[in-house]
Amino acid sequence: MSQAPAVLEQDLSSRESRLEAVLENVRGRRGEIERGRCVPRDIVDGLVSAGLYRATVPQRFGGDGRPLSVSLRQIERISTVDPSVGWVASFAPQGANYFGALSPDRLAEIYADGPDVVGAGGLFPLQPAERVPGGLRINGRWKFGSGSLAADWISVGVIVPGDEGATPPPRLIVLPAEKVDIVPNWETVGLSGTGSHDLVVRDVVMAEDWSFVRGGAPQSDDVICRFPAMALAACAFAVVGLGAARGALDAAIDVAAGKTSITGGPRLVDKAYVQHAIAKAEAALGAARAFLYEQVDGAWAAVEAGREVPPRDRMALRLAANHASRAGVEVAQAAFATVGTTAIFLDNPIQQFLRDALVVNQHAFLGEANYEAGGRMLLGLPPSPGFP
């Protein structure tokens, strides 16, 4: 049941205050999050309280049903404080989108206790599922289970009998989190706090209709469920890189404004190359953001009007996400280079923002192959498999 507009507006104002309180908490705990290799449960609970996980959930399940760009801007904002927290938060709209490929009955079960559902998962390597009485028996181990330690539901990648072939479709099956073991082995140079540990499932049987093909046809008519899944995921990851860049650039501006040379030379803020670098980085970041949100809002408007997003527009979404991710790295690198040795110390946030932006950019959804695939479409050639 949806809220009356006045009530929702008041609730949104309250949630804004709660989100700011969460970010202030995160700001003081960045070191703890990185050392602990996960986002603590109390911070995830704070994001839930701030309405992050219900933002794009359909109103019929008690969610806000807000446009995707609203959620992406929240994720970007969180990432300006700690990109690891932003990365975990990025699965909020992804879950609302992916779950739409479940049957209506299973989707209702997901939201039976309300819209504040925390999802996570690991798709690869795909593991064979065995068809048995009662459904599918799941066994295996998966990588990159970001945010799984605080999840309610966890999805893992499976190959279902009948899906075999040279390139079986990536299929996910959704399990209650308590049926999944988490192996703490996430040791990385960046996004260290995402808790992207391995996931292990042993002899769990789930009804087959808890599975769905990633990016397959939605079984729900809700707008979030009909938004192109692969493009949505790419954009959700890309805004984490944009947030990391914003955090690095703001920190560099603060350093430049207060730093004097140890050699007695001009202040950093008075040096022409610093002024040039800061302005150029600001322009690059703003341009990348504008391109991404323009494509997201255009695609959302099409879906909201009952239309499918055509392949060329889906391609533009993927290119915008790729471009945003790379701009995030370039801006963070510029921030790091501009302030000199100040940025090399582990207690300076610029180096962490840079490391995090670099790891965002390594994700397959944001890889260089997407430019090749986009170029093929722009040149009138057949699209690459799985693109856009």
Surface-to-core class of residue 128, CB atoms within 10 Å of its CB (0-12 exposed, 13-18 middle, 19+ buried)? middle
Least confident of 123-137, 161-175, 233-247, 354-368: 161-175
Is the pLDDT reported for residue 329 higher than 60? yes
Q: What per-residue confidence (pLDDT) applies to 386?
A: 86
> 372 in helix, strand or coil?
helix
Percent of the chain with pLDDT over 70: 96
pLDDT at 131: 96
CATH of domain 5-110: 1.10.540.10
How far are the Cα atoms of 102, 344, 367 from residue 212, in angstroms, in the given order?
Answer: 6, 45, 25
pTM reported for the whole predicted model:
0.95
Return the higher-pLDDT residue of 4 and 56: 56
Is residue 164 scored above 80 in pLDDT?
Answer: no
- Cβ-based burial of 379 (10 A; exposed 0-12, middle 13-18, buried ≥19): exposed
β-bridge mates for residue 130, sequence order:
137
Q: What is the mean pLDDT of residues 114-121?
A: 98
Residue 146 is given by DSSP the state T
Stated as kind and residue range, the H or E segment containing 157 is strand 153-159
Looking at residues 276-294, what average pLDDT do you find? 99
Q: Which residue has the higher pLDDT, 169 or 356?
A: 356
Fold adopted by 227-378: Butyryl-CoA Dehydrogenase, subunit A; domain 3 (1.20.140)
> pLDDT at position 1, please?
57
Is the fold of 119-213 the same as that of 227-378? no
- Fold type of domain 119-213: Butyryl-CoA Dehydrogenase, subunit A; domain 2 (2.40.110)
Return mean pLDDT, the chain: 96
272-304 and 68-79 are packed helices; what angle lies between their axes, rounded to 10 degrees?
150
pLDDT of residue 168: 72
Q: Is it true that the peptide bond before 176 is cis, omega within 30 degrees of 0?
A: no
Cβ-based neighbours of 114, under 8 Å, separated by 6 or more: 54, 61, 62
Percent of the chain's residues with pLDDT above 90: 90
- More confident call, 5 vs 197: 197
Mean pLDDT computed over 120-147: 98
pLDDT at 10 over 90: no
Q: Are 128 and 159 in contact (CB under 8 A)?
A: yes
The neighbour count for residue 77, using CB atoms within 10 Å, is 17
The amino acid occupying position 113 is D
CA dist., res. 217 & res. 222, Å (int): 12
pLDDT of 167 reads 74
Q: Minimal CA–CA distance to 174: which of 197, 150, 158, 196?
A: 158
Whether 92 and 115 have beta carbons less than 8 Å apart is answered as: no
Report the alpha-carbon distance of residue 51 to residue 14 in Å, rounded: 10
pLDDT digits (tens, 9 = 90+) for 168-208: 778 999 999 999 999 999 999 999 999 999 999 999 999 99
Domain boundaries, the chain: 5-110, 119-213, 227-378
Dihedral sign, Cα of residue 338, residue 343, residue 349, residue 355: positive
Distance CA(368)–CA(388), nearest Å, equals: 14
Q: Which has more confidence, 311 or 266?
A: 311
Average pLDDT for 359-364: 98
Give the pLDDT score at 2. 58
Q: What is the pLDDT of residue 218?
A: 95
More confident position, 167 or 349: 349
pLDDT digits (tens, 9 = 90+) for 86-100: 999 999 999 999 999
**What is the DSSP secondary-structure string of 256-315?**
HHH---TTS---GGG-HHHHHHHHHHHHHHHHHHHHHHHHHHHHHHHHHTTPPPPHHHHH
> How sure is the predictor about 261, in pLDDT bands with cuts at 50, 70 and 90?
low
**pLDDT-based confidence at 8, cuts 50/70/90?**
low
In angstroms, the Cα distances linking 13 to 9, 20, 136, 313 are 6, 11, 44, 34
Q: Residue 42: exposed, middle, or buried by beta-carbon count in 10 A (0-12, 13-18, 19+)?
A: exposed
